[in-house]
Amino acid sequence: MSRLIPAAERIRRAWLTIQKARDLPVPPEGRYSFAYIAQVKAILQDARDLVKFIPYSPSATDEMKAEVQKIFAEADRANEEILHSGSRAADA
């Protein structure tokens, strides 16, 4: 049986996971490599999965709920920057 991870630790891990996606090196094939895209999306989904149930917890504070919303927004922003914005700059 897996051990329970406190909400504060889940939030911290989610931020680190988003940074892990940002730090993932672009392969020689470029940003359009299916493996790279899948890896980035999987890492960002892991970050979302870490915190997705926190708002439904009776012990979650308003600050925690706000932090979860920030994590979801940052994961979306990271997806856009890593897979879309950066590639447009390379195309220009």
Q: Is 85 helix (H, G, I), strand (E, B) or coil?
A: helix
Residue 61: per-residue pLDDT? 94
Span 38-50, pLDDT tens digits: 999 999 999 999 9
Residue 23 in any domain: the answer is yes
Residue 74 in any domain: the answer is yes
Taking a C-beta distance cutoff of 8 angstroms, is the pair 76, 21 a contact? no
| Residue that has been written with the tokens 């890492």 in this structure | 43
Domain span at 57: 7-91
Taking the mean position of all CA atoms in its chain, how far away is CA 25?
16
Residue 87: pLDDT over 50: no
Residue 16 in any domain: the answer is yes
Question: What's the total number of domains in the chain?
Answer: 1
Residue 2 in any domain: the answer is no
Name every residue whose Cβ is closer than 8 Å to that of residue 64 and which is 6 or more positions away in sequence.
7, 8, 11, 54, 55
The mean-pLDDT minimum among 4-13, 55-64, 78-87 falls in 78-87
Residue 81 tokens, joined:
């920057």
Residue 85: pLDDT band (50, 70, 90) is confident
Residue 1 in any domain: the answer is no
